[in-house]
Copies of this chain bind each other. A is one copy, B any other.
Amino acid sequence: MRSKTQTDGAARIGIHKVASHARVSIATVSRTINHVPTVNPVLAARVWKSVAELNYVPNTQARALVSGKSKLFGLIISEITNPFFPELIQEFERAAVARGYEILIGSTNYEPEKMELCARRMLERNVDGVAIMTFGFEESLLDRFAGEDIPVVFIDVTPRHPRSSNLQVDYRAGIYEGVQHLAVLGHRKIGFISGPLRLGSAETRKLAFLDCLRCAGIKPQSAWLVEGDHTLDGGRDAMQRILQLPEWPTAIMCSNDMTAIGVQHALFEADLKVPADFSLIGFDDIHLAEYTIPPLTTVRMSCKDLAQGAVTSLLANMESTQSRFETRSKINTRLIVRQTTGLPKMSSAI
């Protein structure tokens, strides 16, 4: 109970005060601000006037408590420090806020225990849905949400759970364009720096690359397939490892743009030039890709489509009373040619 008369300066005003100020009942105020059509326009006007005068702001927690809907979406990402995710967050937030939802962000930093913590945080706050945009997959996590009947949306993975949907990214199309582009330029020795392979999507990208290579009639060299971790440092380290190999590829494709930027840096340190010594292709097309030196040729994956797709399927899954499976939508990718690709270096050309 609150002590005495609550001497705090501005005790938060509630629907109650608005009602008495507008000389109507509490119910009328509630109906007015929720736009129930049957309210008498005269009373409604009085209510809105009082709302404005008293600077009334509805208390979302009380609302959530009674309605059972928190109007909150969880957004779980890998790493907020990778510019791809802020771009994704921005679009996700835009889509969510437009529909009256707030968003709760959790970054896993690729650590399973942080993932668990994120899930718990979201459960406590009673999120109405969760978008797992981490390009990886934690079975345990999913169970928690499924147990509470909370809609979940994933990228790539197709879990067999109620109220979950997934966004299918067509990695192959963009990667195929990239490989073709390199092949046309004359490259036959193409390396690939993947993301952390325990991430399902990273594996998928690598497999798509391998497949595209085969389509182009190129035999993949396992030494040129190195695992990175989708960070700047990881890209740099991976490239340094490649540079220690007895034979070098003439072109490198990367699992994301941050990796590619790391590669550019490793090449800079080794006094090698892009695209003269190495051609380079990234993935994601973050805004920064246009600003690297030289500007990065990369495969664009629209994070706007991703974000909007996620919000849309979350919403759809909430509305449907019955638990349904697999609301799939496809996300396209395509090559954006800039200046990190060119003819292969003579000494290494076929």
Contacts and interface: CB of A to CB of B under 8 A. Distances in A.
B148 A12 contact: yes
A348 interface: no
Contact of A124 (B57, B80, B149): B57
A57 B123 contact: yes
Interface residues of A, number: 55
A8 B268 CA distance: 59
Copies of this chain present in the complex amount to 2
Given A57-B124, A81-B86, A291-B262, A149 B107 contact: no
Given A10-B149, A105-B105, A147-B10, A60 B291 contact: no
A90 interface: yes
Given A81-B287, A90-B107, A293-B292, A60 B265 contact: no
8 contacts: A58-B124, A61-B64, A80-B93, A81-B90, A81-B287, A86-B86, A261-B291, A292-B292
Interface of A: 8-10, 12, 55, 57-62, 64-65, 70, 80-81, 83, 85-87, 89-90, 93, 97, 102-105, 107, 117, 120-121, 123-126, 147-149, 232, 236, 261-262, 264-265, 268, 287-288, 290-295, 323
Name the 5 nearest CB pairs between A and B, nearest first. A61-B61, A80-B86, A61-B64, A293-B293, A57-B123
